[in-house]
Structure 1
Amino acid sequence: MMIINSNSYALPSSFIYSGLSLEPRSVEQVLLRCAEGTVEWLYPTGALRLSLEPRQPLGSPGSGPSRFTACIKPVATFRGAQLYLEKEGILKLLLSEKGPSPHSKVHCFSWHPHQKVALFLQATPHQDISRRIASFRYELKSDWDGQLALPLNKLSMEGACRPCNDTEILMAVCTSDFVVRGNIRTVLNDRDMQESVIAVSVTRVYRQKFTLFQPRGHSVKSLGDIRTPLSCGVRPGPGTFLFMGWVHFGDAWLGCAPRYKDFKKVYETATETHENPCEIALE
C-alpha cells in the first residue's frame, strides 16, 4: 500500500531531492510551476508526484491560455526510477530505467487548462545501495492567443518539416525567440541525436531572446547553430534566408526559414493591405 503525503508544496526552478528521507512506499506530492528548470532525485525511494501547474503571466487576459505544453529531457545518466505521465488519472510510461539511453529523447505533451496533469516518478527496486540519480530538465509553456501555436505544432515530426505558409511566416517574425538573416555554411547530421545542425552565418540579427548568434574568433559576421529533426533532410544551399525559431533547452530550433527575397514580398504585400501583425525593418 502506498502512503500519500497530502501536503503539496511548490518547487523552485532547480530542485534537488533526496529519497533517503522517504519511506519505501510513500508518495511525495510537489508542484512544478516555473517556466523551466531541473529536477534531480538522489537515491530514489518511494515515488514523487509532480503536478504541472504553469504560472500565468501578470496582466494575462481573463480567458486564460487555450492549452499548456511541457517538454521533458532526461539526463544521460538517468537511473533509479521510471517516469510516467499522469493525465486524467491514466499513467503512460515515458522513460524506463531499462530502456535505451535517454539522452537523445525529448518528450513533449500538451493539455487543456481543465485537465489535471502530473509527472509520476516511481523508484525501481535495487539490491545494492550504489548512488543513483533520476534527473531531468523541463520546460512549461502556455499558449496565449495562439502566439505559441507555431512552435508547439513544430514539436511534431509532421509540423517540423512542413514549410511555413505566409500567415505563419508573418506571425513567426513577431513571436519567435530569434529572427536572423543569413546564409547556410554547413549542415551536420547527428544520427545519435536524430538532429541536423545548421551552421549559419548571420548578416543581421533582428531579435534573439538569448545570445545565440555572435561573432566568433576573427569573424566579423555573427555565427550560430540552428537545429531541426534529421528526418527533415535539410541540405546546404545558396541564397539568403530569414531564419526564425525558438529556444528549446538552450538550443536554437528552426521554425520558419523562407528565402529573404520571398519573405520581403510577403511582408510588403501584407504592409500594403495593413495585415502585418508587427513591423520589422527590411534593410
Structure 2
Amino acid sequence: MLPNVIILMHVLVLPLGLCAADLCNWTGSSFAAGLDSRIVLQVRLRCTAGWVRWIYPGQALRVVLEPNVSSARRTTVCIKPSPSFRGASVFIERAGELELLLTDDGRPEQQVVCFRADGPHRPAIYLQSSPQSDGPWSRRTMGFRYELLGNRSAAPTVDHSGLQTSCRPCNDTELLMAVCNSDFVVRGSIRNVSHHPERRTTSVEVTAARVYWQRSRVFEQQVAASGSSWHGRIHTLLQCHVTHGDGEFLFTGSEHFGEAWLGCAPRYKDFLSVYQSAWAARRNSCDFPLD
C-alpha cells in the first residue's frame, strides 16, 4: 500500500488555499478533496513551532516544514500527537521514501517522537489515515504539535523515541553555559517529587524565590496573604531517580510543548562558587545577576 501512496503524493495534491492556515498552524478537512481517496493534502508551514489539526481525515496529509533562514540551524524535529490522535500512522519522508515514526498503539498522546532533519531537503511529516468501520467521513479529529530544536547545550538530546536528558550532574563548563542558554533559569526549592512509570518521567514541583527568565509561562506567580511566590513543574526522565532534596537550587533547562525539562540543577551556593571563580578568571559565558 505504501509504495502507491508515495507515487500519488507527487501528482495529486490539494492546494493549501482550500484550508485555513497561517505561517505556524494549520486546520483543514478532507471534505475539500471530495470523494477521491487518492488525493493527498499538502501543507507548508514556516515556523519553528506550531500545530496541525486535521478534521474528517481522508487518505493522507503531507506537512512540509520550511522555517525561515535564521532558523536553518535547527536540525531536529519533535512532534507530539494530540489527545484525539487515533486511527493513523505518522511517517517521516526521506528522499521519497517513508519511515514509520508512530502508530496509535497504546497512548500516542503521551509520546514525543523526534527525528534528525539534516540534509538538503526540508523535513516532511506524513500522516496516513486508517480506514474506519463507520465510513470514510466519520467525525474524527487528529493532529500534532511540532517543534524544531536548535543545537543548544541546554536542550536535551533526542533520539527516535523522543526527548532524552542526561542524568549525570553538569560540570562547571556545562553549568556556565546553561545559565546563558536555557529556556528558563529559576532559583528555588523542591516542593514535591512524583514519579509516573506509565510516561517514564518524574515531575518536580518547584517553589521559586526568583525567576531570572523563562521563555513562556512555565512558572506562574501566585499571590497569598503571606506574599507572592512562583510555582512551576519541571520534568525529567524516570531513570534519573530524582528525589526530594532540601535547600535552595538553581534550576535550568529547556521548554518543549509547554513543559519544562530539567537541565542543570546545582545547589545555589555551589553555582555561586563556580560563577564567581569563572568571573574572576574571565571565563564566564555571560553576566548573571547575583543577589
> What is the TM-score with the length of structure 2 in the denominator?
0.84
Query: Sequence identity, in percent?
Result: 42
Q: State the distance in 2 between where 1:52 and 1:110 align.
A: 13
Count of matched residue positions in the alignment of Structure 1 and Structure 2: 272
Match of 2:90 in 1: 83
Q: Which amino acid aligns with 1:221?
A: S
Match of 1:35 in 2: 48
Match of 1:266 in 2: 274
Match of 2:61 in 1: 48
- The structure-2 alpha-carbon separation of the partners of 1:6 and 1:158, relative to structure 1 and needing over 3 Å to count, comes to closer
Decide whether the 8 Å contact of 1:5 with 1:29 is kept in 2.
no
Where does 1:236-255 land on structure 2 (aligned, <5 Å)? 236-255=244-263
Deviations 1:76-125 (A, max 9, x none): 2212321111233332212223x111121111222225244211111212
User: Aligned to 2:39, which of 26, 35, 47?
Assistant: 26
Match of 1:171 in 2: 177
User: Aligned to 2:118, which of 109, 112, 116?
Assistant: 112
- The structure-2 alpha-carbon separation of the partners of 1:157 and 1:102, relative to structure 1 and needing over 3 Å to count, comes to closer
Match of 1:93 in 2: 100
Deviations 1:210-238 (A, max 9, x none): 23323325253222111111221110011
Q: Secondary structure at the match of 2:166?
A: helix
> What is the TM-score with the length of structure 1 in the denominator?
0.87
Match of 1:69 in 2: 76
Give ranges in structure 1 of 5+ residues lacking alignment.
Answer: none
Give ranges in structure 2 of 5+ residues lacking alignment.
Answer: none
Decide whether the 8 Å contact of 1:8 with 1:31 is kept in 2.
no
- The structure-2 alpha-carbon separation of the partners of 1:142 and 1:158, relative to structure 1 and needing over 3 Å to count, comes to closer
Q: Secondary structure at the match of 1:160?
A: coil
Aligned-pair CA distance for 1:24: 0.4
Measured on the aligned residues, the alpha-carbon RMSD in Å equals: 2.3
| Greater mean deviation of Cα atoms: 186-195 or 153-162 | 153-162
Aligned-pair CA distance for 1:6: 5.4
Aligned-pair CA distance for 1:205: 1.5
Deviations 1:158-178 (A, max 9, x none): 643232221111111111111
Q: Which amino acid aligns with 2:282?
A: H
Q: State the distance in 2 between where 1:169 and 1:276 align.
A: 10
- The structure-2 alpha-carbon separation of the partners of 1:152 and 1:279, relative to structure 1 and needing over 3 Å to count, comes to same
